[in-house]
Amino acid sequence: MTDKLTKLQRRICMSHNKGKDTFPELFIRKLIYSLGYRYCLHRKDLPGCPDLVFPKRKKVIFINGCFWHRHTCKKGRSIPVNRKKFWQQKFKRTIERDKCNYKALKKLGWKILVVWECQTKKPEKLINKISKFLKQ
């Protein structure tokens, strides 16, 4: 199946995919704030620029989109029909970059929690997971 959009239209469409302040990120930020925790956002001085940083606790939370970061859920297993090789390489680089960032953070003494986009569908489980992580 060919793309129904022109190259310019596709570029514009893809450029609108946000990296910050996405729905899952805003949802989790509100949830954590309501639990009484305070955090810093997107600290560029840390590897991978974590979404949420708890400096006193030396903990970070990454909020990953299932599609972009290749989660094992249904959304994370899908691959676009067009330019499969390009997408496979892009996903591979993203996974490798994430692993390097996590390793660097651990080496610096930070504890990491990765929250997936699909986990926002079950807030009760997410609250328990985040609370447990932050209380350790």
More confident residue, 36 or 80: 36
| pLDDT attached to residue 1 | 52
Tell me which fold the domain 19-135 belongs to: Endonuclease; Chain A (3.40.960)
User: pTM for this one?
Assistant: 0.84
Average pLDDT of span 31-42 = 94
Average pLDDT of span 111-120 = 95
For residue 116, pLDDT over 80 is answered with: yes
Instruction: Give tens-digit pLDDT for 10-28.
Output: 777 767 666 677 888 999 9
| pLDDT attached to residue 19 | 65
CA–CA gap between residue 133 and residue 110 (Å, rounded): 12
- Where are any strands of DSSP class E within 9-125? 40-41, 52-54, 59-64, 111-116
Domain positions in the chain are 19-135
Instruction: Give tens-digit pLDDT for 1-10.
Output: 566 778 788 7
Measure Cα distances from 59 to 47, 48, 54, 91, 97 in Å.
Answer: 13, 13, 5, 26, 19
CA–CA gap between residue 11 and residue 58 (Å, rounded): 38
| pLDDT attached to residue 80 | 85
| pLDDT attached to residue 82 | 82
State the chain's mean pLDDT as an integer: 90
Instruction: Give tens-digit pLDDT for 54-86.
Output: 999 999 999 999 988 999 888 888 888 888 899
